[in-house]
Amino acid sequence: MTTQQPAPAGATGTTPPPPLGAYDLTDPQTFLDTDPHALWRRFRTESPVHWHATDTPVPGFWVISTYADVVTLYRDNKQFTSEQGNVLATLLQGGDSASRKMLAVTDGPRHSEIRNVMLKSFSPRVLEPVVAGVHRRTRELVAQALERGELDFVTDVADHIPINTIGDLMDVPAADRDRLVEWNTQTLSRHSSEDSVLDEVVARNEILLYFSELAAERRRNPGDDVISALATATVDGKPLSEDEIVFNCYSLILGGDESSRMSSIGGLIAFSENPEEWRRLKDGEVTVESATEEVLRWTTPAMHFGRRALVDVPVRDQVIRAGDVITLWNSSANFDEDVFDDPYRFDIGRTPNKHVAFGHGPHFCLGAFLGRVHVNAMVDALRTMVSGIRLQGPPQRLYSNFVHGYSGLPVALTAEPATPAAAGKVTG
């Protein structure tokens, strides 16, 4: 079992680490250059409610890093709003063009109304029939990977699973799905510092245009899918606006694909680096459900979310002023030693494991059940079909301060002797 204790972030030998103010959390490069566990431990202990200056039109933002504060502030949608953005990038630009058109950036009664409409399509009961399909598709892709032996786990396996589930639920034509995965990645993160901000904007517009056309078609010919459900839903007798339909489709394709993918990829890396946990999984000492929760905590694909204060709010020894931006760091809260014993240990039997990978409170992830189904299916397929995982090179990290994940993972997988040779055609 690997137990990691982080050294102070930035410390080399006897040199004291740089002050926390030296770390630019708006710069994705910071997260590639720094040991995140060590950095976040310093934030939690030295400056749990930390003012981070910027050179943007917004003068700065608060960095909230303890589990207790993150949960308290997530819960508070009276004193803090999501309507001016819920991630650092939009909050620092001064607003989100999807405000009050997309669930995640809507508050108050309209949030509850739209959430209720969307929950009808994403409740465990409604999704029950989808679960078997996710397991089947995952097993087929893992079987094909085992036949190949050496592969890129991101592009050959993980990229093809959640997009096809959400694609089926939204009835997105199969031929368009690869394009959507590429746009999703460009919208939420970049492969490297060389990809431009313009690529992000173009990709976002491509997705919106794509769903605007699809929604118009479903309005004319509704089917049994989530886009049709949004396009034909009424609240107080009135249909949703065109913008609400399109922006919520955008958020579903993004939320439905990227985070689940990143968790499964990070889970494979974690098992390859923690042979004792791999053995416990293989031997059935620990349930797949429990391992799934630890993979979600360990990988925390959504590193932060954010809000803007509507009134002055005291937090610890600071006062967050009305108008200030706050950022809630899931990637710190999920490793807070006040809540998680031995937090830097990947422990698939961890109980309790009340991580905040899906957020908390009124905006708690709408797709949490589906996200769990995806990670569960991957953990289960690895457990039953794979005997050995060997990384063939360094994983390629995404360039982002929002999504923690990978764009490439060269790996060699060996099959369990009992696994029948892969056959199944991967549909959809």
Q: Catalog residues that contact ligand HEM under the rule CB under 6 A.
A: 82, 86, 103-104, 115, 122, 166, 251-252, 255-256, 259-260, 263, 301-302, 305, 357-359, 363, 365-367, 370-371
Q: Which of residues 279 and 364 has its CB atom nearest to ligand HEM in the complex?
A: 364
Q: Which of residues 144 and 228 has its CB atom nearest to ligand HEM in the complex?
A: 228
Shortest Å distance, C-beta 262 to ligand HEM: 7
Q: Which of residues 250 and 399 has its CB atom nearest to ligand HEM in the complex?
A: 250
Compute the half-sphere exposure of residue 395: CA atoms within 13 Å on the CB side of its CA. Answer: 23
Helix 162-170 and helix 368-385, axial crossing angle in degrees, nearest 10: 140
| Token pair in block for residue 191 | 């492969």
List Cβ neighbours of 266 (8 Å cut-off, separation of 6 or more).
295, 298, 299, 301, 404, 405, 406
Distances (CA, A) of 350 to 275, 279, 280, 416: 16, 15, 12, 26
Q: Which of residues 188 and 370 has its CB atom nearest to ligand HEM in the complex?
A: 370
Among all residues, whose Cβ is closest to ligand HEM? 367
Q: How far apart are CA 109 and CA 331, in angstroms?
A: 30
Q: How far apart are CA 328 and CA 398, in angstroms?
A: 20
Contact status, residue 92 vs residue 58, Cβ threshold 8 Å:
yes
Long-range contacts of 53-61 (CB under 8 A, 24+ apart): 53/21, 54/26, 54/92, 56/26, 56/92, 56/93, 57/92, 57/93, 57/94, 58/91, 58/92, 58/94, 58/325, 60/325, 61/88, 61/91, 61/92, 61/306, 61/324, 61/325, 61/326, 61/327
Beta-sheet strand order (sheet of 60-64): 49-53, 60-64, 325-329, 304-309, 80-81
Identify the residue whose tokens are 């797949």. 288
Q: Which of residues 151 and 357 has its CB atom nearest to ligand HEM in the complex?
A: 357
Shortest Å distance, C-beta 86 to ligand HEM: 4
Q: How far apart are CA 262 and CA 366, in angstroms?
A: 17
Shortest Å distance, C-beta 19 to ligand HEM: 29
Q: How far apart are CA 349 and CA 6, in angstroms?
A: 22
Shortest Å distance, C-beta 68 to ligand HEM: 17
Shortest Å distance, C-beta 392 to ligand HEM: 25
Shortest Å distance, C-beta 283 to ligand HEM: 26
Q: Which of residues 9 and 71 has its CB atom nearest to ligand HEM in the complex?
A: 71
Shortest Å distance, C-beta 22 to ligand HEM: 27
Compute the half-sphere exposure of residue 71: CA atoms within 13 Å on the CB side of its CA. Answer: 11
Shortest Å distance, C-beta 374 to ligand HEM: 7
Q: Which of residues 144 and 264 has its CB atom nearest to ligand HEM in the complex?
A: 264
Q: How far apart are CA 266 and CA 297, in angstroms?
A: 10
Shortest Å distance, C-beta 25 to ligand HEM: 17
Shortest Å distance, C-beta 302 to ligand HEM: 4
Q: Which of residues 343 and 359 has its CB atom nearest to ligand HEM in the complex?
A: 359
List Cβ neighbours of 225 (8 Å cut-off, separation of 6 or more).
169, 170, 171, 218
Kindly give the pairing relationship between strand 410-415 and strand 386-391.
antiparallel
Q: Which of residues 10 and 306 has its CB atom nearest to ligand HEM in the complex?
A: 306
Q: Which of residues 365 and 382 has its CB atom nearest to ligand HEM in the complex?
A: 365
